[in-house]
């Protein structure tokens, strides 16, 4: 039977949520036909232009609104079968400057959605989270069994949301699945995160800031691979399970900077060494054995290729990012 799944995607105008929507609707109709509604508040990070490629698709609808609005959320959730919850305040530096919006959106917003999901008998709720909930580790990799030990206010709110989501599974039997991914990169990422920040500044002939000694290590995941993993979890994952999603490319920030400088035709004379971020986690590393063995996930994008494509996208799409920089300067 060719049933239609109605999917509510929160935060679908942001970097990863919009990539998920464009990918889902860009895949030809098959046994898993979908209709997608994006619910997004359009904060500074939400950009309607990210959804231009699907705007005229008859399977797509956009609603501007807040995940903390119980009335709106209740109405939308009652009209959908599944929830993909991407909406969040997502930038660590902003959470250090002020954590209130992070608690409101990431924690209260998630609880508002979970309550509505329970009330209206949603089939599946996928909570999109981050490896930052685990804290920081010097060696080895975290499995999903690792307890959460978040350090930044951002990570603390994401860990809280994960625990709430899992509690709705354990307490109420709601089909909740949690994904915890590493650092994403790719097109359409707001130019405050390190990859697009460095690329846009370098393409403009400017300088880039490197935190501390640059030895902090992150695993880099192309957004294509992330949304492929998230889709496996939506369609084949287990209720109540947590799945790590990684890219398999661990780099120190110095190594990442080397890649970015080379890709933009610049050298180290363009790098400013700046004071370290407060409480900066040294290293993140996720073990992706569970999603690989259970759901067949494997990151497909080789980092050098993915980064070259990403830099090319920013080079060719100044009309997308220049207005964002001008807006950020005001």
Ligand X SMILES: NC(=O)c1ccc[n+]([C@@H]2O[C@H](COP(=O)([O-])OP(=O)(O)OC[C@H]3O[C@@H](n4cnc5c(N)ncnc54)[C@H](O)[C@@H]3O)[C@@H](O)[C@H]2O)c1
Which one of 131, 146, 162, 281 is the catalytic residue?
131
Which one of 66, 81, 89, 132 is the catalytic residue?
132
Given a contact cutoff of 8 angstroms between Cβ atoms, the answer to whether 301 and 224 are in contact is yes
The whole-angstrom separation of Cα 223 and Cα 185 is 6
Q: What does each C-alpha distance from 162 to 26, 38, 179, 245 come to in angstroms? A: 29, 21, 9, 15
Q: Which of residues 15-34 bind ligand X (CB under 6 A)?
A: 15-17
Report the residue from 8, 24, 41, 194 that binds ligand X according to the rule CB under 6 A.
41
Given its phi and psi angles, is residue 125 left (phi above 0), alpha (psi -120 to 50 degrees) or beta?
beta
Between 69 and 270, CB nearer to ligand X: 69
Sheet strands (E) in 43-134 = 60-64, 82-85, 124-130
Q: Is 294 a catalytic residue?
A: no
Report the residue from 13, 92, 174, 266 that binds ligand X according to the rule CB under 6 A.
13
The whole-angstrom separation of Cα 93 and Cα 197 is 13
- Residue nearest ligand X (C-beta atom): 14
Structure tokens at 168: 């709705």
Which one of 20, 35, 89, 154 is the catalytic residue?
154
Report the residue from 67, 117, 260, 324 that binds ligand X according to the rule CB under 6 A.
67
Question: For ligand X, what does the binding mask look like between residues 259 and 298, x meaning CB under 6 A?
Answer: ----------------------------------------
301 lies in the site for ligand X, by CB under 6 A: no
Residues in contact with ligand X, counted by CB under 6 A, come to a total of: 30
- Give the contacts of 31 (CB within 8 A, at least 6 positions apart): 2
Q: Is 131 a catalytic residue?
A: yes
118 lies in the site for ligand X, by CB under 6 A: no
- Give the contacts of 95 (CB within 8 A, at least 6 positions apart): 89, 102, 152, 153, 154, 157
Report the residue from 110, 152, 184, 253 that binds ligand X according to the rule CB under 6 A.
184
Q: Which DSSP string corresponds to 70-87?
A: HHHHHHHHHT-SEEEE--
Closest CA to 114 of 63, 165, 66, 179: 165
What's the min distance (Å) between Cβ of 51 and ligand X? 10
- Give the contacts of 316 (CB within 8 A, at least 6 positions apart): none
Report the residue from 24, 35, 40, 177 that binds ligand X according to the rule CB under 6 A.
40
Report the residue from 22, 80, 158, 177 that binds ligand X according to the rule CB under 6 A.
158
Report the residue from 34, 54, 66, 306 that binds ligand X according to the rule CB under 6 A.
66
Residue found under tokens 């799945």: 243
Residues assigned a catalytic role: 131-132, 154
List residues near ligand X by CB under 6 A: 10-11, 13-17, 40-43, 45-46, 66-68, 86-90, 105, 109, 128, 130, 158, 181, 183-184, 190
């Amino acid at each position: 039977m060719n049933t239609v799944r109605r999917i509510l995607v929160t935060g679908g105008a942001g970097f990863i949520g919009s990539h998920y929507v464009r990918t889902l609707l860009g895949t030809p109709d098959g046994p898993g036909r979908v209709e997608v509604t994006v619910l997004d508040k359009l904060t500074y990070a939400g950009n309607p232009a990210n959804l231009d490629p699907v705007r005229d698709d008859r399977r797509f609808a956009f609603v501007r609104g807040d995940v903390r609005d119980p009335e709106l959320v209740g109405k939308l959730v009652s009209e959908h079968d599944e929830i993909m919850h991407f909406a969040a305040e997502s930038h660590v530096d902003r959470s250090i400057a002020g954590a209130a919006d992070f608690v409101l959106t990431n924690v209260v917003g998630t609880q508002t959605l979970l309550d509505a999901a329970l009330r209206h008998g949603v089939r599946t709720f996928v909570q999109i989270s981050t490896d930052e909930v685990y804290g920081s580790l010097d060696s080895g990799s975290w499995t999903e069994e690792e307890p959460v030990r978040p350090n930044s206010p951002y990570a603390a709110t994401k860990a809280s949301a994960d625990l709430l989501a899992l509690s709705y599974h354990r307490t109420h039997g709601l089909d909740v699945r949690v994904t915890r991914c590493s650092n994403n990169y790719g097109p359409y990422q707001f130019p405050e995160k390190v990859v697009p920040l460095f690329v846009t500044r370098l393409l403009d002939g400017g300088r880039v800031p490197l935190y501390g000694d640059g030895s902090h290590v992150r695993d880099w995941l192309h957004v294509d691979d992330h949304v492929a993993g998230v889709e496996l979890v939506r369609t084949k994952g287990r209720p109540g399970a947590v799945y790590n999603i990684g890219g398999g490319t661990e780099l120190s920030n110095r190594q990442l900077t080397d890649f970015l400088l080379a890709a933009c035709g610049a050298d180290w004379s363009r790098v400013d060494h700046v004071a370290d971020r407060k409480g900066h986690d040294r290293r993140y590393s996720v073990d992706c054995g569970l999603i690989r063995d259970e759901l067949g996930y494997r990151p497909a994008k080789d980092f050098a290729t993915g980064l070259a494509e990403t830099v090319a996208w920013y080079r060719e799409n100044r009309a997308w990012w220049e207005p964002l920089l001008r807006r950020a300067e005001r």
